[in-house]
A and B are shown apart, each in its own frame.
Chain A
Amino acid sequence: MAELIQILVSGLAAGSIYALAAVGFTLLWQASQTINFAQGEFVMLPAFFVLIGMTVLGLPMWTSILLALVLSLLILGVAFKRLIVEPMLPHGTLPLVIATIALGLLLKESVKEFYGATAQPFPAIFPQTVYNVAGASVSVQDICNLVVSMLAIGGLQLFLNRTRTGRCMQASAQNPAVAEILGVNVKRMVLYTFLINAALATIASVLISPIYLAKFSNGETLGLVAFIAAIVGGFNQIRGALVGGLLIGVIDNLSAVYISAQYRAAMPLLLLIAIILLRPQGLLGTPEGRTV
């Protein structure tokens, strides 16, 4: 029982970080039909911005994190939209998908080339203390990661549902032509989506890097897991991406302990296959007809 609690907590903590990336995935899809296969690299990169701030510029950790956030908003938000999505989108979804795959490779190889191929230690934001709760070792870091991720996603949901800007973003995603006619600045709403995705990626990066270290290739697994989480939960629902992320985090940790550590990476893929066969719209998603 104690072991199970331990696994569940660390599974949920990891899953909540996957969920951040997955939520970004679904947001971009809804707002601009962008399937971002560079999403994993989007989570990998901000950690290196933080490291550059700390080691190259000699800034304190929190200033470096702020710097990373600003750089991510500019590069992964504004520049990504302006330089890749806007020129490619008129050519259809598939060319854009291929462009994002290329972008992922570019980001990955650039970090390897300019920063280094070895895993870099990343400063811990939260205390590394481990408490014993009912016989289970529960780390403060896990709990904090879970809380921060949930706050970020909860805050995003509140923003989208309770503010006028948020509702205009939803309207722009659901029926851009009519939103435009009603006077909503659709282009700006789409930009907000890209900025939110960049911010979520930065949060995920800062939370996950102390655990897995900062490495150029981190995006490979992260991107795949976020993609699977989005599909499992339902590609067109934020709460679907949340559930998908948490589920994969828990399944991953459970299977590492109870099935086989060697095959843990296969479990999310098996889940993906099962979902595609049995419930293609995802656990919480709604069927969607779209011509691509």
Chain B
Amino acid sequence: MNMRADNTNAPILSVHNISKQFGGIRAVNGVSFDVRKGEILGLIGPNGSGKSTLFNCILGQLKPTEGHCEINGRSTDGVRPADLSLMGVGRTFQQLSVFPKMSVLDNVILAGQEHQGSMLSRLLGKPDAGLTGKAEQLIEFFRLTPYRDTPAGSLSYGQQKLVDAAMAFMAGPGIVLLDEPAGGVNLTMLGHLKERLVTYNREHGTTFVVIEHNMEFVMSLCTRIIVLAQGEIIAEGTPDEIRSNQMVIDAYLGG
């Protein structure tokens, strides 16, 4: 049906035996998994299961106590956040990441690394480094065209999440990490967001890793799901397998 199960390639993201210790608490304990090109992987787990810690270790924002992560074969250890986007990694944020007084278009252009290049080209070169076309395509894709020139801060929360997503795709990434994309978004907008992500995945083969609390959203979006509890992987499989897994049910219901 689509490219999601393209399994001939080497993994785009490899997590090797990651552990993270905070004082006496082991937030993540020996987690390993691979993500292949075109997959939509969901990373779920109850509060305090270590999802966000793992996410930050993958992004190089936290240094794991043990283990390491590779994106396209390159270690993310010690990588500056800005370099991630140059490595083709896009991300969205749990908190909104828009620049409130700038137009939607300017926000998306800015996410396309327009600040790269020499000082002279930044001062005298094209104001958008030739990124307007691509930005407009993404704005169109997320159906934000009517708000192209509106300050991003005056859009609804859900619309800002869409701007956030458009920004994450702007660097032309091979992989996008979405941190709780459904948080605080109303149902209509959520359906829209999900539909757009699936379409983008089908059309471009972009890989997604999604951290999410909203089970319905994850179950309907992802091709594979990994469940964390107390810092360890307790289950892994398709949405249907996860739904019927007794350990997952117990972990979520505190059984």
Residues of A whose CB lies within 8 Å of any CB of B are 162-165, 167-168, 170-171, 174-175, 178-185, 286
Contact = CB atoms under 8 A, between A and B. Distances in A.
Given A167-B114, A170-B101, A180 B82 contact: yes
Most chain B beta-carbon contacts within 10 A, residue among A165, A168, A181, A185: A181
Given A164-B122, A164-B129, A183-B116, A178 B93 contact: yes
23 contacts: A163-B122, A163-B124, A163-B127, A164-B122, A164-B128, A165-B115, A165-B119, A165-B122, A167-B102, A170-B99, A170-B101, A174-B99, A174-B101, A174-B102, A175-B98, A178-B97, A178-B98, A179-B99, A180-B81, A182-B113, A184-B82, A184-B110, A184-B115
B100 A175 contact: yes
A163 B125 CA distance: 8
B95 to A, nearest CB: 9
Interface in B57-96: 81-83, 85-86, 93
B115 A182 contact: yes
Contacts of A183: 81-83, 85-86, 113, 115-116
B106 interface: yes
B123 A163 contact: yes
B111 interface: yes
Nearest to A178: B97
Interface residues of B, number: 30
Contacts, number: 73
Contacts of A171: 99, 102, 110
A168 B106 CA distance: 10
A167 B106 contact: yes
The 6 tightest CB contacts between A and B, nearest first, are: A183-B82, A181-B81, A178-B97, A174-B99, A164-B122, A165-B122
B163 to A, nearest CB: 12
A286 B100 CA distance: 12
A164 B131 CA distance: 11
Nearest to B99: A174
A168 B102 CA distance: 11
A181 B124 CA distance: 24
Contact of A164 (B83, B97, B115): B115
Contacts of A185: 115
A168 B101 contact: no
A175 to B, nearest CB: 5
A217 to B, nearest CB: 37
Contacts of A181: 81-82, 97
A168 B110 contact: yes
Contacts of A167: 102, 106, 109-110, 114, 127
Contacts of A175: 97-100
Contacts of A179: 99, 110
A135 B81 CA distance: 65
Contacts of A164: 114-115, 117, 121-123, 125, 127-129
Contact of A162 (B85, B100, B127): B127
A40 to B, nearest CB: 28
Contacts of B109: 167
Contacts of B86: 183
B102 A170 contact: yes
Nearest to B152: A174
A183 B99 CA distance: 14
Contact of B99 (A163, A165, A178): A178
Nearest to B112: A182
Contacts of A170: 99, 101-102
B130 to A, nearest CB: 11
A160 B124 CA distance: 12
A53 to B, nearest CB: 28
